[in-house]
Amino acid sequence: MKSISEQFGIKKVLKSLGIKDVNEGTSTGKNNFSSCKEIIVSYSPVDGKPIASVKITTQEDYETVVNTAQAAFKTWRNTPAPLRGEIVRQFGDKLREKKEALGKLVSYEMGKSYQEGLGEVQEMIDICDFAVGLSRQLHGLTMHSERPGHRMYEQYHPLGIVGIISAFNFPVAVWAWNTALAWVCGDVCIWKPSEKTPLTGIACQNIAAEVFAKNNLPEGISNLVNGDQHVGLLLTKDKRVPLISATGSTRMGKIVAQDVAARLGKSLLELGGNNAIIVTPDADLKMTIIGAVFGAVGTCGQRCTSTRRLIIHDSIYDTVKDALVNAYGQLRIGNPLDETHHVGPLIDQDAVKMYEEALQNVKAQGGTILVEGGVLEGKGYESGCYVKPAIAEAQPDFEIVQHETFAPVLYLLKYSGDLNNALDIQNNVVQGLSSAIMTNNLKEAEQFLSVNGSDCGIANVNIGTSGAEIGGAFGGEKETGGGRESGSDAWKVYMRRQTNTINYTNDLPLAQGIKFEF
């Protein structure tokens, strides 16, 4: 009988993406093999099998990458922005060609469903399209001077090297959110993907390198380093890297923020989420169940926007609870490359342990398990990473409810009275990423979106917490970090602002009417 890898043609996928059995861990645009003998072995959570080995970036390798990036920046920043956009357009087209292969690798290496893997690559394509249009819209402002014969304006210039540290759960899309914008802004990038998903990083680097080489552009516009937090520290502590964009846990973000702030650099942080959906008496219950279930179990609960808490009005609490329990009973768990399955595996055994501890904690703190969790065993579950999505009744002040559990555990919380009580529960956590309300009451919807409503960076009405469109800025408040990526004016973080004043007279009047004559 064929293995999962053989059944879904993973060797062919790796070959089409330029990945060898043992590949480079460091790249400045071409195959630049590391001299280091230390490696990362990428294991698939789908079947527990090793996929390929990746060499870890050494200090010497890192210096080569930074020097190459600095040299490339001098060329790239002088390339007109619309021409930079043309390169990004070609990159997007190349992603379209590689969409199936890259989507399948994302699914196999990370464990999300194949459809979600394809969706992630589509996000990359979408941000490229957005960035192409943006390349002709990097607008500044013109202001009136208080001095006669003067003109004032502001403009934006490239920063230089942008360091990108990404997480395993969206191994390619979040990189593209940063990279596509940074490239059209005239920056060059150094990317450290998660050590849990290094192969998708190499695949993306290979695709980008092909596009840059075809256009006779220098090595170093797109760069890759691989390794654990020690390689990440090389980036965060490096004064030659003016911006660090980091996605991950709040614990990791605090370390990054301190390192970057110590050298007065800029950081863009996308950290933890403890996202809630408020369900009011005026909610459409069918929409509520669809949004809550996908939000809680999609990507096996490993999205930063995953639904962790469901805050339900007491008048409809039992109805919603029963519908959820029924829906969870219909979930199919298994190989994510099989499109009949709803839920794939967690990323690794550490994630499984964290999931089991969360369920133990909620019971120890007085909660009631409505849908039992547990680790699945037997045929098809040999990796030991497949778990059952669980539902628990809890109280808002339970310690475990205050934390982000990166797994498919949904906490049901009850509120009474008006919407203010639900908002108090929702906002009373340290994270502030995504939030949603299910209601057909216009007043409740508007209150939820008002200054007295949700304190999150994302607030949705009648859709769930999970997922985001490219056109809007993505990010959150409080311990989510405050960063913004993707759409709107998120591009400004990748550039430095400059205010200019031009005197076109023969006099030199000073501001505020100051006299300085001799």
Read off the tokens for 39. 């490696």
* E strand or H helix that includes residue 363: helix 349-364
The CATH number of domain 4-271+481-497 is 3.40.605.10? yes
Task: Answer whether 324's CB lies under 8 Å from 309's CB.
Answer: no
One-letter amino acid for residue 403 of the chain: H
User: Average pLDDT for consecutive 10-residue bins of the chain (518 residues)?
Assistant: 91 94 61 61 97 95 97 98 98 98 98 97 98 97 94 98 98 98 98 98 97 97 96 98 97 97 98 98 98 98 98 98 98 97 97 98 98 97 98 98 97 98 98 98 98 98 93 97 97 98 92 78
How many CB atoms neighbour CB 282 within 10 A? 16
Handedness of CA 249, 253, 255, 256 (dihedral sign): positive
275-474 matches 4-271+481-497 in CATH topology: no
Provide the CB-side half-sphere exposure for 147 (13 A, CA): 18
Q: What pLDDT score was predicted for residue 38?
A: 87
Domain residue ranges of the chain, discontinuous segments joined by +? 4-271+481-497, 275-474
* E strand or H helix that includes residue 495: strand 495-503
Beta sheet of 150-158, edge-to-edge order: 141-144, 150-158, 495-503
Q: What pLDDT score was predicted for residue 34?
A: 47
* E strand or H helix that includes residue 216: none
Three-class DSSP category at 275: strand
CATH class (in words) of the domain with range 275-474: alpha beta
What residues act catalytically?
A: 270, 304
Phi, psi at 341, each rounded to 5°: -95, 140
User: String of b and e for 472-509 (b: at least 16 CB within 10 Å)?
Assistant: ebbbbebbbbbbbbbbeebbebbbeeeeeeeeeeeeee
Q: What pLDDT score was predicted for residue 74?
A: 98
pTM of this prediction?
A: 0.96
* Separation of alpha carbons 464 and 416, rounded Å: 21
Three-class DSSP category at 449: helix
Max CA distance (Å), the chain: 94
One-letter amino acid for residue 277 of the chain: I
Task: Answer whether 235's CB lies under 8 Å from 190's CB.
Answer: yes
Q: What pLDDT score was predicted for residue 22?
A: 58
390-393 and 368-371 as β-strands: parallel, antiparallel, unpaired? antiparallel
Task: Answer whether 150's CB lies under 8 Å from 197's CB.
Answer: no
Q: What pLDDT score was predicted for residue 504?
A: 97
